[in-house]
């Protein structure tokens, strides 16, 4: 019996626990994690809707672009005036930002003065409100001895929903909080401010959330979210520009002001809204609007508590059913009272004092119960904010394709600052909802005014940076007139190379290839292809008259750097090792096959099967080769190995091989272009051949030498000079150094190095990787310039090179890559225009149809190179219809074709 009595006693005590009846009464306000995740998912859907141009009009979460494109990096500077308008008072400030003092160094000095706004202005005409702002500003200038005559840059924090088309313009969508100023909705508030103020230039208008993010971002470069939990509530964050439909462009990021207070205005939160929320909404100045804000913000929390306590009292659950007149009066419990009642040590005493002040006589249990009501109401607020913030952080993480996210949230607002439990609850729930995110919360110590000045400072920094970057890249942006000059100089060089017995910049080397394939080629042939860092061995089988029935087998071998720059004997022995392996692979060691040798370096030929190396290019420096017949060097190496024998019937350049390979598919192909590690062109010439019996011959132009005589000095930049001086062949192959894959990455690195030294990139930090020659390979240009590549991936590429970059850095790097590669493509296009126009004039034609066979990684892999080259050639040679045909099998097949052609002629 005693046990039964004890259970009954404890059960009755449990029933009497005042917090339990509150829990039952406010069950709908106690949100568990699954509900918060559901709310977060709904908010993510609303964010997506607000960002889309198609659905933004009907979206309740407006996702307003702010035109703030960057957070502070520490190099901002300047002196600004700032206005902060958003509550019953507003502030005027003078803000001084010192260069290089940001990112935890401190460097913003502020002087401020707060001015009250008379209550009648909050419901008066807009002109009267801004006249008051203007008079207060003039008072501040006078007090601080700041000249009224001089024009001052002004930053304006305006904490109401605005639609911005630029940083210095904003149309008011609607008033919030307790503002009901007439005749202003839909109007540009910045213009109204300008009309009220004579001698200031409003450079930026920002929302208080944006300003908070910028303030905290000045000290923490991970800060990319701003959060306000005060009289009102809102959040902003840095969104990928490609997702912001309402703004043109897709490069970089832009801060988006979510205006999340409107979440739920379309009924999205109806299943979470309580009767108390409905009562607060019905009694507000804007029924049906700002539903989320009314559940969360300081303007309404006290009133929610009052309505709960009132109803509990009416039902006899508090104060023995007594209801005072004060408890029935709207606004008698404030959010400050809520914070006071939840104080850790004095909370119950404060609760009793507040209730007594409402003409109530609370019991100790009443005080405990009312304190618990405030806890549930404020805890729900922090939970809802956590759900919204989790949605934003999840979107950022997904945008950047990250498994984990490190980010800082800048926070401001009286609820966050004064409520003793609110920050801890918010932090804990956010981290519980997103365990994979490392989230740091930073309290804004200077309010939103400092942030507005920093927005202006950042805007000035970006504008200055933009001018300097444009100045740096302007020499790479060639005009139509400059390209016409390049075409004319290339044409002059082609003619001079054909006529000159002595040295010329463009060599115009005879190839002793007199015709393109005619379809009679047949048999098995070897193709040997040396042109860069790889050697390729091929076996090609041609069937007579069946151009599309060619069988090709090949293997690729690497040429190590030490072989490229060692002795000639080692180089050719290595080539023979590769050939031996290939013959073993194909089971042809005992067969004596005819072979064609593609040798992609300048050679003087006196016959098809001899070629004296004029000079190495593309990084090769093997000794005892220049001035020697490369066919003889290969034959000697074969003899040294003494394992097999080859009949080397032809040596050709890779451009010739490419032309022949493509001509096998298209009889109109009479030009070969290489746009890869090197840059070169060949074509079928029919004049100035020095022998009347020869009707045509393929000429290897070696156009990479254009400019060796100084003819390109007017377009060569200091970066090109630096690349040339650090090359193996200083003063040679100047055109190739402007156009080929071997050098473009190094040109880009030189530009990046200069921009960094000028403080325009990588925060001015010149790192060891950036100083390392050759680290920026041309393949990175192709990757970085890909239209499908997000800036996050650009940053990943740079990070892989040891270059820590911001989003702004990535944009500039991408722009540098684009300028350098576009110039290369345009120069190749201008050179091609000179070649095809020469062919047209040689033949006395008004119009020429011709095909260019093309090979090379730059042409094939770079996302824009081929298009720019083709367009430039079209514009500069309008009387030529040029088709560009990429080579599938490369120049090795062309060497086999020439060999097959010779064998066919010999046998016939």
- Structural tokens at position 551: 């069988």
Is residue 251 classed as helix, strand or coil in its secondary structure? coil
Q: Which of 159, 297, 600, 887 is catalytic?
A: 600
93 touches 111 (CB < 8 A): yes
Any residues with CB less than 8 A from the CB of 711 and at least 6 apart, and which?
A: 489, 492, 493, 505
Find, among 890, 268, 251, the residue nearest to 531 by Cα. 890
Largest CA distance in the chain: 131
- Structural tokens at position 479: 């005009």
Q: Which residue has the tokens 């064998």?
A: 903
279 touches 287 (CB < 8 A): no
528 touches 621 (CB < 8 A): no
Q: Which of 188, 208, 412, 654 is catalytic?
A: 654
194 touches 137 (CB < 8 A): no
In 789-818, which positions are buried (b, 16+ CB within 10 angstroms) versus exposed (e)? bbbebbbbbbeebebebbbbbbbbbbbbbb
Strand partners, 652: 598
Question: In whole angstroms, what is the distance from residue 800 CA to residue 783 CA?
Answer: 13
Return the H-helix or E-strand segment holding 526: strand 523-530
Query: For the chain, what is the radius of gyration of the CA atoms?
Result: 38
Instruction: Answer yes or no: 600 catalytic.
Output: yes
Q: Which residue has the tokens 């080859």?
A: 646
Any residues with CB less than 8 A from the CB of 326 and at least 6 apart, and which?
A: 332, 357, 358, 359, 360
- Structural tokens at position 279: 């009562």
Instruction: Answer yes or no: 647 catalytic.
Output: no
Query: Other CB atoms closer than 10 Å to residue 555's CB: what's the count?
Result: 15
DSSP tag of 56: G
176 touches 203 (CB < 8 A): no
Question: In whole angstroms, what is the distance from residue 867 CA to residue 850 CA?
Answer: 17
Find, among 834, 809, 819, the residue nearest to 864 by Cα. 819
Q: Which of 69, 395, 461, 536 is catalytic?
A: 536
- Burial of residue 186, with CB atoms counted within 10 A of its CB: 0-12 exposed, 13-18 middle, 19 or more buried: exposed
In 28-52, which positions are buried (b, 16+ CB within 10 angstroms) versus exposed (e)? ebebeeeebeebbebbbebbebbbb
Instruction: Answer yes or no: 773 catalytic.
Output: no
Instruction: Determine how β-strand 880-886 pairs with β-strand 253-257.
Output: unpaired
DSSP tag of 475: G
Find, among 235, 212, 240, 221, the residue nearest to 396 by Cα. 240
Find, among 129, 92, 308, 335, the residue nearest to 232 by Cα. 335
Q: What are phi and psi of 360, to 5 degrees?
A: -110, 160
Strand partners, 567: 623
Q: Kindly list the catalytic residues.
A: 536, 600, 654
């Amino acid at each position: 019996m005693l046990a039964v009595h004890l259970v009954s006693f404890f059960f009755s005590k449990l029933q009497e626990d005042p917090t339990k009846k509150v829990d039952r009464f406010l069950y709908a306000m106690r949100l568990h994690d699954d509900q918060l995740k559901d709310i977060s998912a709904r908010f993510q859907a609303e964010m997506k809707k607000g960002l889309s141009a198609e659905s933004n009009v009907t979206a309740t979460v407006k996702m307003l672009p702010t035109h703030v494109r960057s957070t502070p990096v520490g190099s901002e500077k300047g002196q600004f005036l700032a206005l902060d308008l958003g509550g019953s008072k507003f502030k005027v400030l003078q803000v001084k930002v010192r260069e290089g003092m940001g990112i935890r160094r401190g460097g913003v000095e502020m002087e401020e003065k707060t001015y009250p706004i008379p209550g009648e202005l909050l419901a008066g005409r807009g002109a009267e409100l801004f006249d008051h702002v203007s008079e207060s500003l003039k008072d501040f200038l006078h007090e601080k001895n700041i000249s009224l005559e001089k024009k001052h840059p002004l930053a304006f924090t305006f904490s109401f929903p605005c639609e911005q088309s630029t940083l210095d313009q904003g149309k008011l969508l609607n008033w919030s909080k307790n503002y009901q100023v007439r005749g202003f909705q839909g109007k540009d508030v910045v213009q109204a401010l300008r009309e009220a103020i004579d001698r200031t230039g409003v450079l930026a208008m920002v929302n208080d959330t944006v300003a908070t993010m910028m303030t905290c971002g000045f000290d923490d470069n991970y800060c990319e979210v701003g959060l306000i939990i005060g009289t009102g509530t809102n959040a902003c964050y840095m969104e990928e520009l490609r997702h912001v439909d309402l703004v043109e462009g897709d490069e970089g990021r832009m801060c988006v002001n979510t205006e999340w207070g409107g979440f739920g205005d379309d009924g999205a939160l109806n299943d979470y809204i309580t009767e108390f929320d409905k009562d607060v909404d019905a009694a507000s100045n804007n029924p049906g609007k700002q539903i989320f804000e009314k559940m969360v913000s300081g303007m309404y929390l006290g009133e929610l508590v009052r309505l709960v306590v009132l109803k509990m009292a009416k039902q006899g659950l508090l104060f023995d059913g007594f209801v005072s007149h004060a408890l029935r009066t709207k606004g008698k419990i404030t959010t400050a009272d809520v914070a006071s009642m939840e104080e850790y040590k004095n909370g119950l005493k404060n609760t009793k004092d507040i209730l007594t002040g409402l003409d109530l006589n609370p019991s100790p249990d009443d005080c405990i119960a009312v304190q618990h009501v405030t806890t549930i109401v404020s805890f729900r607020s922090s939970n809802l904010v956590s759900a919204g913030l989790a949605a934003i952080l999840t979107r950022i993480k997904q945008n950047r394709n990250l498994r984990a996210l490190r980010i800082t949230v800048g926070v401001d607002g009286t609820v966050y600052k004064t409520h003793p439990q609110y920050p801890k609850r918010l932090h804990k729930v956010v981290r519980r909802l997103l365990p994979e995110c490392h989230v740091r919360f930073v309290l804004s110590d200077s309010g939103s005014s400092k942030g507005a000045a920093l927005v202006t400072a950042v805007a000035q920094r970006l504008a200055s940076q933009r001018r300097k970057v444009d100045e740096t890249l302007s020499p790479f942006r060639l005009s139509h007139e400059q390209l016409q000059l390049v075409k004319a100089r290339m044409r002059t060089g082609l003619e001079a190379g054909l006529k000159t017995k002595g040295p010329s910049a463009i060599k115009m080397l005879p190839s002793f290839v007199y015709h393109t394939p005619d379809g009679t080629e047949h048999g098995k042939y070897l193709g040997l292809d040396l042109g860069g860092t790889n050697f390729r061995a091929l076996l090609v089988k041609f069937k007579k008259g069946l151009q599309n029935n060619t069988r090709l087998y090949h293997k690729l071998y690497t040429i190590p750097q030490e072989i490229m720059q060692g002795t000639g004997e080692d180089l050719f022995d290595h080539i023979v090792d590769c050939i031996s392996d290939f013959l073993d692979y194909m089971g042809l060691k005992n067969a004596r096959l005819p072979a064609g040798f593609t040798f992609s370096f300048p050679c003087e030929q006196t016959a098809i099967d001899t070629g004296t190396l004029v000079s190495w290019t593309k990084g090769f420096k093997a000794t005892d080769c220049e001035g020697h017949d490369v066919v003889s060097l290969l034959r000697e190496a074969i003899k040294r190995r003494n394992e097999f024998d080859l009949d080397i019937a032809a040596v050709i350049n890779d451009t010739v091989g490419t032309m022949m390979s493509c001509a096998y598919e298209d009889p109109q192909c009479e030009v070969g272009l290489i746009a890869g590690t090197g840059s070169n062109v060949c074509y079928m010439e029919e004049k100035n051949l020095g022998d009347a019996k020869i009707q045509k011959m393929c000429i290897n132009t070696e156009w990479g030498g254009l400019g060796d005589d100084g003819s390109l000095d007017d377009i060569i930049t200091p970066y090109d000079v630096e690349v040339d001086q650090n090359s193996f062949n200083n003063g040679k192959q100047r055109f190739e150094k402007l156009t080929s894959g071997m050098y473009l990455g190094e040109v880009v690195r030189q530009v990046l190095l200069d921009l960094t030294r000028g403080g325009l990139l990588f925060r001015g930090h010149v790192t060891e990787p950036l100083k390392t020659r050759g680290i920026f390979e041309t393949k990175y240009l192709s990757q970085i310039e890909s239209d499908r590549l997000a800036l996050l991936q650009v940053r990943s590429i740079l990070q892989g090179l040891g270059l820590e970059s911001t989003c702004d850095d990535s944009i500039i790097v991408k722009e540098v890559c684009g300028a350098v590669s576009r110039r290369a493509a345009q120069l190749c296009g201008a050179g091609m225009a000179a070649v095809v126009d020469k062919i047209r004039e040689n033949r006395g034609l008004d119009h020429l149809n011709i095909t260019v066979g093309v090979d090379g990684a730059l042409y094939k892999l770079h996302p824009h190179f081929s298009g720019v080259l083709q367009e430039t050639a079209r514009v500069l040679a309008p009387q030529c219809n040029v088709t560009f045909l990429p080579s599938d099998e490369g120049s090795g097949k062309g060497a086999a074709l020439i060999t097959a052609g010779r064998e066919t002629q010999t046998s016939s």
